[in-house]
A = this chain, B = another copy of it.
Amino acid sequence: MKIAVFGLGSMGYGMAQSLLRAGHTVHGFDVVPQQVERFRDDGGAGGELADIAVSLDAVVVVVLNAGQTKDVLFGDNGVVPRLKDGAVIMSCATVPPEFAMDAEARCAAASIHYLDAPISGGSVKAAEGRLSVMAAGRPEAFAAARPVLDATAETVFDMGDHAGPGSVMKSVNQLLAGVHIATMAEALTFGMQQGLAPDRFLEVISKCAGTSWMLENRAPHI
């Protein structure tokens, strides 16, 4: 398949690499030119968006938020109006469920499939093609995005047959992850103030009821 990945950050770069590994033709786009060059050195395809858009089968959007996703899809140089009928948008940023539902409707009006597909797993799993994807969309959108899901995800949770629930699930996940990472930092500080060595903190808590994915994954970086 011919695929464009918008957003070559820690998650998008890994996903783009996984798509290359799976044998797809992958065009990478990013606001940072060095990231685009680096990806071309890794085997990414070249070309200007205006020239290649009409030949794309899938567009993976791995930017920061709804605003950036909207720009990529429907902005002044937005990709949706340039795509051929039946191409699929896989939207991976964390966005409000209402945004996902609206984007699905706008894509449908342009004969484009839209998959509400937030991701979880961190940059290591992204690079390994082993993400968790909370996907929601019409069956045709799932079918069109299947090769992309196969190359990038270890687990695809089918959250329903229309856009929205994927983003709901992701929001809940982020709420939990955010509270956990803040709590972990507070607890580590509290323990250190009372004389606990940080390594000891991590060793003990990770074996006790106070542990979380965020604690085990992020505390070692602190």
Contacts and interface: CB of A to CB of B under 8 A. Distances in A.
Size bracket of the A interface:
35 or more
A217 interface: yes
B173 A205 contact: yes
A31 interface: no
A212 B180 contact: yes
A10 interface: no
A196 interface: yes
Contacts of A214: 209-210, 212
A134 interface: yes
Interface of A: 97, 120-122, 132, 134, 155, 157, 159, 165, 168-169, 171-177, 179-180, 183-184, 186-187, 190-191, 194-196, 200-201, 203-205, 207-215, 217
5 contacts: A97-B194, A134-B204, A169-B191, A175-B187, A211-B212
